[in-house]
Structure 1
Amino acid sequence: MQIEIDFDVFKALTARRRSEAHNYNDVLREMLDLEKAVSDRVQGALSASGSTASGRGFPLRGGDLPNGTDLRASYKGEQFRAKIREGRWYDEQEREHSSPSAAASAISGTNVNGLRFWHARRPGDDEWLRLDILLAMPS
């Protein structure tokens, strides 16, 4: 199913997405004051009960970053940290970011390729790897 929208509507909907996991349907349901979709309610109930140990993780084009992934970056000599929790990217101030680039831009104040800016250490990993390198590796 598709609906026709103009570019301004697309931009407005995109700006309302809280993360890459927060899709356009979620945005429209919130704007129209509709209940969450059944699959979202079931997932939420499973998460609340502890039935999903790790959840989906943070979705990226090259694969997901699992929950519990630590992230770090260095900018102008200062160290920054973030963490993936409940499929969302949170910085040290508990601000949520929709992408690695959005998180990097919040630090630098400019457009930044977040995949080259951030290094990640997934649960069970011993070393930190830059995101673009990590996502290019075979699973």
Structure 2
Amino acid sequence: MQTVEIDFDVFKEITNRRKTEGVTPNDVLRELFGLDPIEAKDVPLMPSGKPWVTKGVTFPYGAQFRATYKGQEFIAEAKDGALFLNGKRFISPSAAAVSITGNSVNGWIFWECKLPGSDSWKIIKDYRMGA
């Protein structure tokens, strides 16, 4: 299977065009390109669930987050409408960052994100409008 990198706006548009949770991004693109559908067993399913929305930015369910602090890597995940880090629920990236550092931190520059289906990491401030 090939990987295609897309920007966040394209990802949101593809997600919005999914008619049901069973429709994959590949199904959406095949329909847009006028291609015949393929059997569902040939297409990997994307994780589905409530996305995390913060400051007008939507991170899809299953988006992964990482940060490095004092040489240690921390991994978090968007699910059930929040950011989960070490089993704890956070509603803002800064609150999650403070739980690691113990100090006031701008979470928008502390965390990187990898969206479902992507292999690349991007600092989350780049997802905010006007970034």
Alignment TM-score, normalising by the size of structure 1: 0.56
Distance 1:122 1:137, change over 3 A: farther
How far residue 87 of structure 1 moved from its aligned partner, in angstroms, is: 1.6
User: Which residue among 101, 109, 124 is the counterpart of 1:108?
Assistant: 101
CA RMSD of aligned residues (A): 2.2
Is this contact kept in 2: 1:82–1:89, CA < 8 A? yes
* Alignment correspondent of 2:17: none
How far residue 104 of structure 1 moved from its aligned partner, in angstroms, is: 0.1
Count of residue pairs brought into register by the alignment: 87
* Alignment correspondent of 1:121: 114
Amino acid at match of 1:96: R
User: What is the 5 A alignment of 1:1-139?
Assistant: 54-91=48-85, 93-136=86-129
- Listed as ranges, the gaps of 5+ residues in structure 1 are 1-49
* Local SS of the residue matching 2:87: coil
Is this contact kept in 1: 2:83–2:89, CA < 8 A? yes
* Local SS of the residue matching 2:128: helix
Percent identity between matched residues is 34
How far residue 55 of structure 1 moved from its aligned partner, in angstroms, is: 3.9
- Listed as ranges, the gaps of 5+ residues in structure 2 are 1-20, 23-46
1 or 2, which has the higher helix percentage?
1
* Local SS of the residue matching 2:77: strand
Is this contact kept in 2: 1:56–1:64, CA < 8 A? no
Is this contact kept in 1: 2:97–2:105, CA < 8 A? yes
Is this contact kept in 1: 2:54–2:91, CA < 8 A? no
* Local SS of the residue matching 1:105: helix
Q: Runs of 4+ in structure 1 displaced over 2 angstroms?
A: 53-56, 134-138
Alignment TM-score, normalising by the size of structure 2: 0.59
